[in-house]
Amino acid sequence: AAGPGLGRFRGCLAGALLGDCLGAAFEGRSVVKLPELLRFLGGLEPAPGAGEPLGSARRETLPYTDDTALGRALLRSLLNRHGFDEADMARRFAEEYKKEPNRGYGMAVVNVFKKLLSPKCSDVFEPARAQFNGKGSYGNGGAMRVAGIALVYSDVQDVKKFAKLSAELTHSNSLGYNGAVLQALAVHLALQGELSKESFLEQLISHMEDVEADERSLSDARALGFEDLPFSRRLKKIKEFLELSSVPKADVLFELGNGIAALRSVPTAIYSFLRCMEADPDIPDHYNPLQRTIVYCISLGGDTDTIATMAGAIAGAYYGEEQIPPSWEQSCEAFQETEKLASSLYELYCQRI
Ligand code: R7I
Ligand code: MG
Ligand code: MG
Ligand code: MG
């Protein structure tokens, strides 16, 4: 069977970039007012009738953050090594951090990068295991950068395996790396294209019930005071939410969250993507479903760059590059890189099928 086309690869990387750059302008705000967000987005459009050339200096450039910096490091490693190579990927993450340490990295993960940069480090998974007194980080850093795994591996078992390994370079708590597995699975399914909301969720639930059933996942969840299979449970909550014609923002934040823990952000990104397949009375109709997804994520506040980059990657893989607005894309720092990376990735993906 013919695999996904190049437009989905471009869409995925561009959607991720948009989510990060647009979301970063609002990161950490507990409340984002929709009129302010819509005004901000309106400012990205070229002035009407001004005949302004594309990419003119007048347009503001929105910097990308650690989400994109590491997402691209992951992609370059996969491309260079023709697949997952833990030592190469770890080195690229650490070198990327060293080159530009002010991209908004998580407070704790920088210690992993510093240890990886030491010539004494022989096991590249060891610094991540030492985080948080040996419990490992459950932050969303493994998930925010993982989309590329689904763009290189077409087999779902490979997607799970390498999403986990890539995340374990910095996040050894299962609540961190299982979030990365879930995000990679969502991108994998989105790349296959036309698929109902119901079957998208059913497939995610059935994969995650398997992923979360191992001893480590059960004991990590219990140690943190969560019920068993916490990601699977939140996917089921998403299913309930989607059966309602609308869900108050407060309920979404209470049940799914908008925080830096993978458990409080990956399900939120997936919900945002699925909810925004339909029109939203609060979001203007001229926005397409991909734009709506990003607007919705940012309107939730909190970890806006990361939730929007994850939802943007899923939506971009699903809808393809046709839904990437040029004016938004051209507002993002280093947006031209998306095209090059997508073409190389697509070539590798086709070789591997
Ligand atoms: O997960 P990580 O890479 O951070 C990603 C976030 C995204 O929002 C990016 O956009 C960027 O802003 O940062 O980095 P970590 O430092 O591993 O985890 C992020 C935070 O999660 C930590 O600084 C802690 O506040 C929290 N955290 C934990 N807190 C207590 N106990 C993660 N794991 C633990 C834990 O085990
Ligand atoms: Mg960030
Ligand atoms: Mg931050
Ligand atoms: Mg963030």
* Residue having the nearest C-alpha atom to atom 25 of ligand 1: 107
Nearest C-alpha neighbor of 197 from the set 150, 257, 239:
239
104 lines ligand 1 (CB under 6 A): yes
The residue ranking higher by pLDDT, 52 or 127, is 127
Give the pLDDT confidence score for residue 58 in this predicted structure.
Answer: 52
Please tell me the distance between residue 162's alpha carbon and the centre of ligand 1 in angstroms. Answer: 21
pLDDT at residue 57 greater than cutoff 60? no
Q: Which is the closest atom of ligand 1 to the Cα of 107? A: 23
Q: Which is the closest atom of ligand 1 to the Cα of 108? A: 16
What confidence tier does 351 reach under pLDDT thresholds 50, 70, 90? confident
pLDDT at residue 55 greater than cutoff 70? no
Q: Looking at residues 221-249, what average pLDDT do you find?
A: 97
pLDDT at residue 316 greater than cutoff 80? yes
Q: Which is the closest atom of ligand 1 to the Cα of 70? A: 3
* Residue having the nearest C-alpha atom to atom 10 of ligand 1: 306
77 lines ligand 1 (CB under 6 A): no
Give the pLDDT confidence score for residue 70 in this predicted structure.
Answer: 99
241 lines ligand 1 (CB under 6 A): no
Mean pLDDT (the chain) is 95
- pLDDT tens digits, 291-302: 999 999 999 999
Q: Give the Cβ contact number of residue 155 at 10 Å.
A: 11
Q: Which is the closest atom of ligand 1 to the Cα of 112? A: 17
pLDDT at residue 2 greater than cutoff 80? no
Q: Which residue has the tokens 């597995």?
A: 181
- pLDDT tens digits, 140-161: 999 999 999 999 999 999 999 9
Residues recorded for the chain: 353
Measured from the alpha carbon of residue 223, the closest ligand is: 1
Give the pLDDT confidence score for residue 54 in this predicted structure.
Answer: 55
132 lines ligand 1 (CB under 6 A): yes
Give the pLDDT confidence score for residue 1 in this predicted structure.
Answer: 52
pLDDT at residue 17 greater than cutoff 60? yes
Please tell me the distance between residue 325's alpha carbon and the centre of ligand 2 in angstroms. Answer: 22
The pTM of the full predicted model, rounded to 2 decimals, is: 0.97
Mutate which of 67, 70, 137 to test ligand 1's pocket (most atoms within 8 Å of Cβ)? 137
What confidence tier does 53 reach under pLDDT thresholds 50, 70, 90? low
Q: Looking at residues 158-182, what average pLDDT do you find?
A: 98
**Cβ(229)–Cβ(208) below 8 Å:** yes
Which residues have C-beta within 8 Å of that of residue 44, sequence separation ≥ 6? 59, 60, 327, 328, 331
What confidence tier does 32 reach under pLDDT thresholds 50, 70, 90? very high
Give the pLDDT confidence score for residue 283 in this predicted structure.
Answer: 97
Mutate which of 260, 266, 306, 309 to test ligand 1's pocket (most atoms within 8 Å of Cβ)? 260
Give the pLDDT confidence score for residue 160 in this predicted structure.
Answer: 98
135 lines ligand 1 (CB under 6 A): yes
108 lines ligand 1 (CB under 6 A): yes
**Cβ(73)–Cβ(79) below 8 Å:** no
What confidence tier does 46 reach under pLDDT thresholds 50, 70, 90? confident
Question: Residues lining ligand 2 (ion), CB within 5 A?
Answer: 65-67, 104, 305
**132 vs 220: CA distance, rounded Å:** 13
pLDDT at residue 52 greater than cutoff 60? no
**Cβ(24)–Cβ(64) below 8 Å:** yes
Give the least confident one: 7-16, 164-173, 192-201, 233-242. Answer: 192-201
pLDDT > 70 fraction of the chain, expressed in percent and rounded = 97
